[in-house]
Structure formats: structure tokens, C-alpha cells
Amino acid sequence: MTKLVRRVPFGKADRLVVSEHRLDNGLTVLVLEDHSAPVAAYQTWLRVGSAYEDPAKTGLAHLFEHLMFNETENLGPGVFDRKVEELGAQSNAATWLDWTYYHELLPSESLGELIALEAERLARLKVQAQQVETEREVVANERRFRVENDVGGRMSELLHGTVFEVHPYRWPTIGWMEHILGFNEADCQAFYRTYYAPNNATLVVVGDVREAEILGVIETHYGGMRSQEVPPPPNVVEPVQTAPRSGRLEWPMSAARVSIAYPAFSLGHPDHVALSTLNEVLFGGRSGRLRSLLVDEVELVSDVSGWVSPFRWPGVYEIDAALRTGESWQRVVDLVERTIDEIKADGPTPAEMEKAIARSERSFFESLEGADGKADKLGFYHTTLDDFEALFLRVERLATVTADDVVRVAREVLTPERRTVVAAEPTGGDA
């Protein structure tokens, strides 16, 4: 049986309404009817990512994403992909620290057939030794390409492993190589039985659908699945950083790179929006204060960007710069610190604030275009923060953030004793 939990207007566009439903087995379903185009987005979000893993078995969540495209009890090897393609669907998946999700965009008339396929692999995936061995090697090669033979991948891994000392965010989503190569059939079967459960999943349906009809189809295919005992989320608190940290790499390249990071707020923290606004002041567009200084004025770097992590638990504020040949990464660190001190002392200008908020609002609303964009945001916020309405709260906070808020979070977060610097220094030659 399916029960209605609530109906919520999709932001201020009250002609669209998100309905949340729950099956008796704990499966959550979010439905948003939008008849503007004859397409539908169908997504399966699971509250498991690399942060939920055993520290001795890192990378299992990502490996399992690969396994989910294999054989099921009723679909032979390659049949799932072929049938999805025959439905005209665009299909993919992703795993990160806090979640895993599977997503399709397809003609709405084919949605019923897709639901049957997705329910099949959620409940009846075959997890056997041969499949595990094959996908294990695929992931190992992915790690070699994206991390071990890539300076950006190695720097990111070193940076997060230095910022986080005890929290599960310290290991990479792809996992450590020794763990990847050591996975076996029993590991994967246990993971599937534990986390790929209806009570750990949220289905998101957006597009040209009829709510009652689609809920009936979902109950037909998912209603018989059993709920499972899912472990609670990790309860690990990262100690407060009280002294600067650093890491170094040498790499066969012609110019240095540097990453600077500070422990930062979780996505649900009220000040996450203010920190994101500060990042826009510093890096938004060609006139962002730090981007303009480092790229155009002193011509120290070829590229620079900032990023505030959208994590369930406290994450990082990260600045990454690719230097011009022969330039010093320490000079980048010094100029970043000088600019941050200016913000702390004088705040952003009214023009900088206006531009930052305008860019953030535009980016936010652009991300909601199309059925898949709406589904992405609903599923992400509901899985990461346990409530899709946090999506609408964020844009409301953005409209009220002030220059004083930006100064306050700069003073709280961007302090020298909480800074981590990871630099990659060139050994000459090409990477």
C-alpha cells in the first residue's frame, strides 16, 4: 500500500507540486507532474556512498554502481542496457561520498517498462564471482587512469586525506587500490543485501506523468520487496583543526599546481549559503576578485577556481590553481591570504554582492531546467539532507545573505591555523 506523506509546491511555481509517498516496505517516492514536454526523468537514489563504507573495504559503493549494470535473475548479460536503449532512454549512474544514484531520461510513454527494469535490478541482481572479478578490474583501471596517473586526482586524494583525520570523507570514493583488488563475491552480496533495500531508497519521477497511474505501477513492481535492516549513518566527528597542514607531490609536468583548503560547513548549515556567496565574490566570472588578480593582473596562474563542498557532514572550502610555467605556488598562497584578509577587514563591495547573488540565483534556477534537472535536485537534497524542501530553503537564504554574513564566515572559516596546502611541483617533462 502507498501512503501520501505530503504535497509541497515546487518553490514559488505553484502550478507544479511535489508529492511524497511511502510504501509499506519503506520505499519513498517523489512525484512531480510537469506536462511541458512528453518526457520523464526516473531516478533511484540510495543513501549510501563512500562515507558509509568499512574503512577496510573502501570503494565498495562505487564498485557496486558498476555491478548494477550486470545480469539479474530474469535479464541475461547485457539485456538491461539493450532494453533501456530500446526505450529511447538516456541512462547513467554516479556514486559520491553521501549517495549513489541511477538515472534515466526517456519518452514518458515508455516509463512503465523502465520501472519494471529498474525494480528488477534493485531486487534481483545476480552478484557472482565472475562479475565481481570483471568489474573489479574495470574499477582498478579507472583508478590508475583518474588517480595514479593524474596529478589532479593525486592532489585531491592527498588534500582530503590531510584535511580529514578521522571522518570517512578522508578516503576517496573510488577506494584504495588494495581494497579494490581484494573485493570478493561475499563482500558484494553483503553490501547489496544491506544497502540496496527499498527502505534505503528514494524514487524520483518528474515529467509528463499521471501521479496516480505511476504510483500504481511502482507499487506493482516494488511493493513486494522486503525492507532490510540498514546500519545508521556514520557518527564520526572530525576534531577541530588547530594548526596549518600541508602535503607535497612531485610530478612530471611543466608548471606547479596548488590546492588550498579549509574545513567548512555541511550543506544543511545556515551559513553554507554565505560561504558559497563569498566563493562567488572571489571566483565568479572573469571579474571575481581572486580570479581577476591571479589570472589577469599578476598573470600568475592559467586557471583558478573555488568550491564549497555540498556534503551531508562538515566538508571543505577548496581553492585550486594551475600556475604558469616557472611561477611559485607559495606566491599564490600569499596572494590568496592577502585577498581573504581584505575581505575580512572591508567586506565585499555592494557591486560584488549584487553580482554574486545574481550569478548564484541564475545558476540555481538553470539547474532546475528540464525534467532531469528537477529530479536531480529533488533526489539530491532528499537523500543528502533527508528533506527535499531544503532545496527551496536554500534559494530563500540566498535572497537574504548580506555582506556582513560574508565577512563573518570569512573570519570564522578562512583562518591560517585551519588551512591545508597541497602543492604539486614539476620535475620537468610532460605528465
The predicted model gives 237-263 an average pLDDT of: 97
Segment 185-194, tens digit of pLDDT: 999 999 999 9
Q: Indicate the DSSP class of residue 96.
A: -
Same domain, 293 and 215: no
29's enclosing H/E stretch is strand 28-33
Contact 34, 206 (CB under 8 A): yes
CA 235 to CA 161: how far, in whole Å? 18
The rounded percent of the chain whose pLDDT value lies above 90 is 98
Helix (H, G, I), strand (E, B) or coil at 92: strand
Structural domain including 147 reads 2-222
Q: What local confidence, expressed as pLDDT, does residue 2 receive?
A: 92
Q: Is 129 exposed, middle or buried (0-12, 13-18, 19+ CB in 10 A)?
A: exposed
CA 285 to CA 296: how far, in whole Å? 12
Confidence of residue 11 (pLDDT cuts 50, 70, 90): confident
Specify if 229 maps to a domain.
Answer: no
Nearest Cα to 196, choosing from 290, 102, 311?
102
Specify if 235 maps to a domain.
Answer: no
Specify if 234 maps to a domain.
Answer: no
Specify if 239 maps to a domain.
Answer: no
Same domain, 45 and 184: yes
Specify if 237 maps to a domain.
Answer: no
**Number of domain units in the chain:** 2
Same domain, 218 and 273: no
Specify if 308 maps to a domain.
Answer: yes
Q: What local confidence, expressed as pLDDT, does residue 1 receive?
A: 86
Same domain, 349 and 410: yes
DSSP for 1-27, please give it.
-EEEEEEEEETTEEEEEEEEEEETTS-
Same domain, 214 and 125: yes
Per-residue b/e over 375-411, b at no fewer than 16 CB within 10 Å? bbbbbbbbbbbeebbbbbebbebbeebebebbbbbbe
Q: What local confidence, expressed as pLDDT, does residue 431 receive?
A: 46
Q: What local confidence, expressed as pLDDT, does residue 326 receive?
A: 96
Q: What CATH number did the domain enclosing 405 receive?
A: 3.30.830.10
Mean pLDDT estimate for the chain: 96
Same domain, 258 and 206: no
Domain boundary among 191, 222, 253: 222
CA 140 to CA 138: how far, in whole Å? 5
Segment 312-365, tens digit of pLDDT: 999 999 999 999 999 999 999 999 999 999 999 999 999 999 999 999 999 999
Domain boundary among 207, 222, 237: 222
CA 173 to CA 180: how far, in whole Å? 11
Specify if 88 maps to a domain.
Answer: yes
Q: What local confidence, expressed as pLDDT, does residue 228 receive?
A: 96
Same domain, 168 and 291: no
The predicted model gives 249-261 an average pLDDT of: 97
Same domain, 111 and 185: yes
pTM of this prediction? Answer: 0.96
Q: What local confidence, expressed as pLDDT, does residue 340 receive?
A: 98
Segment 141-156, tens digit of pLDDT: 999 999 999 999 999 9
Task: Map grid coordinates 507544479 to a residue.
Answer: 16
**pLDDT at position 401 over 70:** yes
Same domain, 250 and 182: no
Same domain, 112 and 36: yes
DSSP for 180-209, please give it.
HHH--HHHHHHHHHHHSSGGGEEEEEEES-
Same domain, 218 and 250: no
Contact 37, 27 (CB under 8 A): no
CA 378 to CA 48: how far, in whole Å? 17
Same domain, 207 and 355: no
Domain boundary among 190, 222, 254: 222
CA 412 to CA 170: how far, in whole Å? 22
Q: What are phi and psi of 107, to 5 degrees?
A: -60, 135
Specify if 238 maps to a domain.
Answer: no
CA 142 to CA 100: how far, in whole Å? 18
Segment 61-107, tens digit of pLDDT: 999 999 999 999 999 999 999 999 999 999 999 999 999 999 999 99
Q: What local confidence, expressed as pLDDT, does residue 293 receive?
A: 98
Task: Map grid coordinates 520523464 to a residue.
Answer: 40
Segment 154-198, tens digit of pLDDT: 999 999 999 999 999 999 999 999 999 999 999 999 999 999 999
Confidence of residue 283 (pLDDT cuts 50, 70, 90): very high
Segment 217-236, tens digit of pLDDT: 999 999 999 999 999 999 99
Per DSSP, what are the bridge partners of residue 317? 262, 308
The separation between CA 405 and the C-alpha centre of its own chain, rounded to angstroms, equals 25
Confidence of residue 13 (pLDDT cuts 50, 70, 90): low
Contact 234, 168 (CB under 8 A): yes
